[in-house]
């Protein structure tokens, strides 16, 4: 699946987008998997209360299922308007 | 219902005029425009608004559709910019048309509250000291609870 990062999450991880092969079945499992990769992921995902997630371009929660999902995005709380 | 996400400036006067003149049976037209102000600590050179291209349009349309379902509205317009902006530039506007003003005002406020914290935009302010992401405010999140 495609994993996207925006705003300071993108800056901390250092890339806007990557393809991830995973067996994770929930967003939380994906986060745990990414955190074990490298320190920059661990830093970016250290405080999940400061993050939001969208699955297939819909806002959702960290316990959301990844079944059939093509795109997951992580970002800080939005500041539109 | 019209939802526009764009980098270039929009002409507020023309948009408001076009929106208002297209709804002759509506008694009330409300418009709101968001303008780039200085950073809270001052000295802002520019603001850059990042967004999530695949999701932004859909998220805004969903918010606008929800407003239409909740209030008796004749029409809704949402324009939101991204990219580089300067102090005084217009970031976004909403317009609502209704037979009566209460619906038009309330729906415009609803749109604004949801655009603040449910539309995938992120603002970064550049000052002489460097660049900082604008933090979401608790009060913006709290504002959603009244709807």
Domains assigned to chain B: 2-132 (3.90.1170.40)
Give pLDDT, residue B23.
83
Find all residues with CB under 8 Å of B10, minimum gap 6, and list them. B4, B79, B81, B90, B93
Task: Write the residue in B91, B119, B124 that is nearest to A78 by C-beta.
Answer: B119
A2-75 belongs to CATH 3.40.50.460: no
Give pLDDT, residue A55.
98
pLDDT band at residue B40 using 50, 70 and 90 as cut-offs:
confident
Whether A59 sits inside 8 A of B54 (CB atoms) is: no
Torsion of CA B98, B56, B120, B114, to 10 degrees: 10
Mark which residues 3-42 of A lie under 8 Å from B by CB. 4, 6-8
Please tell me whether the interface predicted TM-score (ipTM) of this complex is above 0.85. yes
How far is it, in rounded angstroms, from Cα A21 to Cα B89? 43
Q: Which residue would you say has higher pLDDT here, B42 or B5?
A: B5
Beta strand segments in B9-63, E: 28-35, 44-51
If we measure between CA atoms, which residue out of A29, A70, A77 comes closest to residue A52?
A77
Q: What does pLDDT average to over chain B?
A: 95
Tokens matching residue B58: 């859909």
Give pLDDT, residue B22.
82
CB atoms within 10 A of CB A29: 15
Residues of A in contact with B115 (CB under 8 A): 80-81
Give pLDDT, residue B16.
96
CB atoms within 10 A of CB B33: 15
Give pLDDT, residue A24.
96
**Does B24 score more than 90 pLDDT?**
no
> Testing the interface with A: which of B92, B111, B121, B143 to mutate, by most A Cβ within 10 A?
B121
Mark which residues 36-75 of A lie under 8 Å from B by CB. 54, 57-59, 71, 73, 75
Per-residue pLDDT averaged across B38-54, rounded? 93
pLDDT band at residue A20 using 50, 70 and 90 as cut-offs:
very high
| CA atoms in the 13 A half-sphere facing the CB of A10 | 14
Nearest CA in chain A to B62: A58
């Amino acid at each position: 699946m495609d994993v996207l990062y925006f705003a300071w999450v993108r800056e901390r991880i250092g890339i806007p987008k990557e393809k991830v092969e995973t067996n994770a079945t929930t967003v939380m499992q994906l986060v745990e998997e990414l955190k074990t990769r490298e320190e920059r992921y661990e830093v970016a995902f250290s405080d999940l209360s400061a993050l939001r997630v969208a699955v297939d371009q819909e806002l959702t929660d960290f316990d959301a299922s990844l079944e059939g999902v093509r795109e997951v995005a992580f970002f800080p709380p939005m500041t539109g308007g | 219902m019209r939802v526009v996400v764009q980098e270039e400036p929009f002409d507020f006067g023309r948009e408001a005029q076009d929106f208002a003149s297209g709804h002759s049976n509506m008694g009330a037209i409300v418009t709101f425009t968001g303008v780039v102000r200085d950073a809270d600590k001052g000295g802002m050179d520019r603001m850059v608004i990042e967004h999530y291209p695949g999701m932004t349009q859909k998220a805004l349309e969903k918010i606008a559709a929800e407003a239409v379902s909740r209030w008796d509205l004749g029409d809704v317009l949402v324009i939101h910019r991204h990219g580089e902006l300067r102090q005084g530039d217009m970031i976004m506007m909403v317009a609502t048309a209704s037979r009566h003003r209460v619906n038009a005002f309330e729906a415009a406020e609803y749109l604004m509250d949801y655009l603040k914290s449910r539309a995938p935009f992120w603002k970064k302010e550049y000052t002489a000291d460097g660049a900082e992401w604008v933090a979401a405010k608790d009060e913006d999140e709290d504002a959603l609870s009244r709807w």
